[in-house]
A = this chain, B = another copy of it.
Amino acid sequence: ILLNGRPSINSDYFFTDTTGVSKDTECAIVLGGDGTIIQAAHDLLGKNIPILGINLGTLGFLAEIEVNNIYNALDCLFENKYNVENRMMIGGRIYSNNKEMYAGSSLNDIVVTRSGFSRIISVSVYVNGEYVDRYRGDGIIVSTPTGSTGYSLSSGGPVVKPISKVIIITPICPHSLYARSIVVSAEDQITIKIDKSKKTQDEEAIATFDGRQAILLHAEDVIDICKAEEETKLVKINNTSFFEILRTKIGQGGELV
């Protein structure tokens, strides 16, 4: 185990310089909350470096080591007493007039949503090219199992055990009463098309990847989403089960995000 000098990632959210992190780093220790770990996952994307999350605040789904257990955790790390859990990511490519305009990956979710001042957007969803349905409302969330306890859950989606091989599609405040979360296989490809309509004005929808980059979308833009090649590797030292974290967070007031 080698940490390259100072903690390779610090809790200063937006200004981590990870360009100097070499690919043979054996572990990145991330101080912060789940948000910081997601940031680290993006910063270290493709470098294949396992991440150990130390939560500085409340227990997180990703940052499971509490700050007062840090020395014990480091001992386990040095003694190789840990597991590495591979978390699936999803990748999305945005096409405008058949030209790729953006490509990115997410550990949690890719969200298409109305921008603040527009009143409604309409999106059509396809799975492996098969038409699923048209959703009018605030937008749609495509989530990994890791992201299932985030925005997807707030919008009525199910809790999904982290290592299940599925992708979750959840409409946000849909006008169709019967719209529900749809769970598909991790191998499926999901396509979202921004419908052209009187009410979907140009530039009134945005796509966000893990709640970070926001890309302005136009009517008839298309987003293709599938399992990403990259994964996020999480160092697991405790045997804290996912369900125990879920119960604990609910006990802290039921706020999961």
Binding site for B on A (CB under 8 A): 113-120, 127, 130-133, 136-138, 145, 148, 151, 153-161, 163-166, 168, 172-178, 180-185, 188, 206, 211, 214, 241, 243-244, 246-247, 250-251, 253-257
- The answer for the CA separation of A211 and B175 in the assembled complex, in Å, is 15
- The answer for the CA separation of A131 and B120 in the assembled complex, in Å, is 31
Closest to A204 in B: B116
Closest to A158 in B: B181
CB distance from A226 to the nearest CB of B (A): 14
Residues in B whose Cβ lies below 8 Å from that of A247: 133
Contacts A159-B181, A166-B183 known; A131 to B243 CB distance under 8 Å? yes
CB distance from A133 to the nearest CB of B (A): 6
Residues in B whose Cβ lies below 8 Å from that of A243: 127, 130-133
- The answer for the CA separation of A100 and B104 in the assembled complex, in Å, is 44
Contacts A116-B115, A136-B255, A244-B130 known; A177 to B178 CB distance under 8 Å? yes
A256 touches which of B130, B151, B177 (Cβ 8 Å): B177
Q: Are A183 and B161 in touch, CB under 8 angstroms?
A: yes
Most buried by B among A138, A156, A241, A254: A254
Closest to A163 in B: B185
Q: Are A173 and B173 in touch, CB under 8 angstroms?
A: yes
Closest to A128 in B: B241
Most buried by B among A132, A158, A174, A246: A158
- The answer for the CA separation of A244 and B127 in the assembled complex, in Å, is 11
Residues in B whose Cβ lies below 8 Å from that of A158: 157-158, 168, 180-183
- The answer for the CA separation of A118 and B176 in the assembled complex, in Å, is 26
A151 touches which of B115, B161, B173 (Cβ 8 Å): B173
CB distance from A184 to the nearest CB of B (A): 5
- The answer for the CA separation of A133 and B254 in the assembled complex, in Å, is 13
CB distance from A187 to the nearest CB of B (A): 10
Residues in B whose Cβ lies below 8 Å from that of A244: 130-131
- The answer for the CA separation of A114 and B154 in the assembled complex, in Å, is 15
Q: Are A211 and B178 in touch, CB under 8 angstroms?
A: no
Most buried by B among A113, A168, A184, A256: A184
- The answer for the CA separation of A38 and B251 in the assembled complex, in Å, is 29
Q: Are B138 and A178 in touch, CB under 8 angstroms?
A: no
Can you offer 10 A-B residue contacts whose CB atoms are under 8 A? Answer: A115-B116, A115-B117, A116-B117, A131-B243, A138-B173, A153-B177, A164-B166, A165-B165, A178-B178, A178-B250
